[in-house]
Every structure is written in structure tokens, then in C-alpha cells.
Amino acid sequence: MVKFRSPKKKSPKNKRKTDPRVDGKPNRKASRAPAPLPPATLTALIGATGGVGTTSAACALAMSLAARAAVGRTQMQRMTDGPRVALIDMDFQTGACAHHLDLLPTISAEDLSRPAAQIDASVVSVMAHQTVGGVALLSAPNGTDGIVSPRTVLALLDAATQLFDHIVIDLPRRFEPWTSSVLAGADVSAIMAELSVPSLHMARLRRAQLAPALGQMGRALETVITKHERRGGRGSLDLRDVQTALGEPAFHSLPMDPEPLRAAINSGEPLISLKPDCRYALAIEQLADKICLAVAAAHPDASLDASLDPREEPHATAQRSAA
């Protein structure tokens, strides 16, 4: 079991207990014992509007899953097994995962222009040569969106599901031909929105556009509120407005926490190791917990025993995205 950071400070006695479902301010008690990591997870994040923090969340979430996946594995096992977590940047036009992690793009323009039939696990394992914090990065240079075919993108994702147990996808907010397939094939798909009228408006529009594709797979597009300020001041919205605007509450919220994020992005060091106790990192741990619990609930027959090698049984996600 993961041994988590102990809570820093006790919250003041008179402080209202926060709803662990939506509040970015972590419920410290809840964050002590992390949810067990299911054998496999595929999470896809898409921004409702620009700059809301989708890439920051995708990077931090991948790091959190990697830390969980490393528990109970010796250094030797980790080296022999290789990374179990991948972060895939599907924004081929302006993707920034490589910048956030201070890595170079790992997929060449030539690889991206290959026909789908040539993309298999061995090709993708060569692409996934750069890792940080146990996360293998799959990202292409900016401006390669014009050369990639939707079939190649889905073949790449399918191959990645054979190689990695846990995958986090950062989708571009523009709709691409593969957007709905990726979101519908993921275990947990979330639209990231700020608490502002334009962002919630766009989230509602996107949810309506994506509902048919996701509904067919029996899935829903969750909402994650980003840059949440508990005391937003006059004229600001609060989490109750999410219910009003979208017809359901937010799956989670991430707090406004600029300083640690700025420090992490500018140093190239993962936030989870640079500022593990900051509000944002703790809220990401909670998000990872919720994802693990949602996946476990959807696959109750899947063993949570980390000693099992899930690669022996292809995860349903691989079959879904191949379909």
C-alpha cells in the first residue's frame, strides 16, 4: 500500500468540512490512504477553454499514478519492467507536455506520417524512450497536426495500451477527428473548465456534442474545475454554479495555486516531487484516487493486486480503442 505524506497541519476546528467529491482543498483525512491502483487506467483530459490548466493537470496526474505504480517494486524491477505509465500529448499543433516536463518531443514527424498498419507496440516502445518520474512521454513536435491521420493516432494509442498500464492523454481543445473516439474509449474522460461563464458555457457545449459518442459506450464526460478560488470575491461563481450550468456537479476541482506550478514548470522538475504538499499536488492525489475508484467500480472483477501482470490480459481499453 502506498505510504502517503502525512498531513501538514490540522485544519482549524471551526472550518466547514469540505465535500471530498468536488473540493480542491484536500480532505486531509481522506488523502492519507490512497485508493488502490487498478491494473489499468486510461484517462483523457480536454480543456473547455484555453489555458485552464489541462496540460498541468495531465502531467501531475501521470506523475501521481507513476508514484503509485512504483510502490512495492524494487529499483531492479522498475528497471526491468520499464515505465508503467505514459503521458500522451495528442495536441499535435500546440502541445506542451514536453515543455512542462522539460523533455524533447519523442515522436518524430516521420513516425507520425506512417500508415496506421506500421504502428505497433515495438514502434511505440522506441518512441517512448524519454521518461521522468516513472512516466514515459509520447509527444510530437508542434505543428505536426497536418500530417497525422486519425487512424495512425488511434493505432498509436492502441499500441500504447499494450505497453503501459496507466495512460493519461492531453487532448487539444479543438475537435480533431479522433477526439470523440479517444474520450469514448477512456475509462475516465474529463473536460477541464474554469469557474467562469465562458468556460462553463463551452463545457456545456462540448458535453452536448460528445454525449452521443460517449453515451454509446456507456460513458460520461466528467467535469473538473480548475484554478478554483474558494474566496473568489464579488461576481465570482462557485461550485454550485457547475450543477446549474451543466446539470451535474463537478467530479473534482483543482485549486488556484500559481506559485508551485510556476516553480515546477520553470525548473522542469515535476510538481509532485518539488512541492509534494502544496494544495495543487494534494488535489491531484485526490483526483487520482477518484479515477482509481471509478475504474475499480467499472471493472469490479479486475484484481487490484499489484503483483499481477496486467499485460498478460489485454485491458478492455485496448480492445475498445482498437474497435
Query: Any contact of residue 47 with ligand ATP (CB under 6 A)?
Result: yes
Query: Any contact of residue 226 with ligand ATP (CB under 6 A)?
Result: yes
Residue 49 beta carbon to Mg ion: minimum distance, rounded to whole angstroms: 11
CB atoms within 10 A of CB 72: 11
Binding to ligand ATP (CB under 6 A) within 160-189 occurs at: 173
Residue 99 beta carbon to Mg ion: minimum distance, rounded to whole angstroms: 10
Q: Which three cell numbers stand for residue 232?
A: 473568489
Handedness of CA 213, 54, 38, 159 (dihedral sign): positive
Query: Any contact of residue 56 with ligand ATP (CB under 6 A)?
Result: yes
Q: Which is nearer to Mg ion, 31 or 49 (CB)?
A: 49
Q: What is the Cα–Cα distance from 262 to 255, expressed in whole angstroms?
A: 14
Q: What is the Cα–Cα distance from 307 to 265, expressed in whole angstroms?
A: 34
Query: Any contact of residue 52 with ligand ATP (CB under 6 A)?
Result: yes
Comparing CA positions, the residue from 293, 259, 289 lying closest to residue 4 is 289
Q: What is the Cα–Cα distance from 257 to 282, expressed in whole angstroms?
A: 11
Query: Any contact of residue 55 with ligand ATP (CB under 6 A)?
Result: yes
- Please work out the total of residues on this chain that contact Mg ion, with binding judged by CB under 5 A: 2
Residue 60 beta carbon to Mg ion: minimum distance, rounded to whole angstroms: 13
Query: Any contact of residue 53 with ligand ATP (CB under 6 A)?
Result: yes
Query: Any contact of residue 226 with Mg ion (CB under 5 A)?
Result: no
Q: Are 279 and 259 a contacting pair, CB within 8 Å?
A: no
Return the H-helix or E-strand segment holding 201: helix 197-216
Partners of 167 in beta bridges = 42, 86
Residue 15 beta carbon to ligand ATP: minimum distance, rounded to whole angstroms: 21
Query: Any contact of residue 152 with Mg ion (CB under 5 A)?
Result: no
- Strand 188-194, strand 221-228: pairing: parallel
- Strand 131-132, strand 135-138: pairing: antiparallel
Query: Any contact of residue 254 with ligand ATP (CB under 6 A)?
Result: yes
Query: Any contact of residue 54 with ligand ATP (CB under 6 A)?
Result: yes
Give the x-and-dash track for 94-113 against ligand ATP (CB under 6 A): --x-----------------
Pick from 41, 55, 139, 223: which binds Mg ion (CB under 5 A)? 55
Collapsed DSSP state (helix, strand, coil) of residue 17: coil
The option from ligand ATP, Mg ion, none interacting with 39 (CB < 5 to 8 A, set by class) reads none
Partners of 84 in beta bridges = none
Return the H-helix or E-strand segment holding 222: strand 221-228
Q: Are 108 and 180 a contacting pair, CB within 8 Å?
A: no
Q: Which is nearer to ligand ATP, 131 or 253 (CB)?
A: 253
Pick from 1, 29, 51, 198: which binds ligand ATP (CB under 6 A)? 51
Residues binding Mg ion (CB under 5 A): 54-55
The site for ligand ATP (CB under 6 A) is made up of 47, 50-56, 96, 173, 226-227, 254, 256-258, 261-262, 265, 280
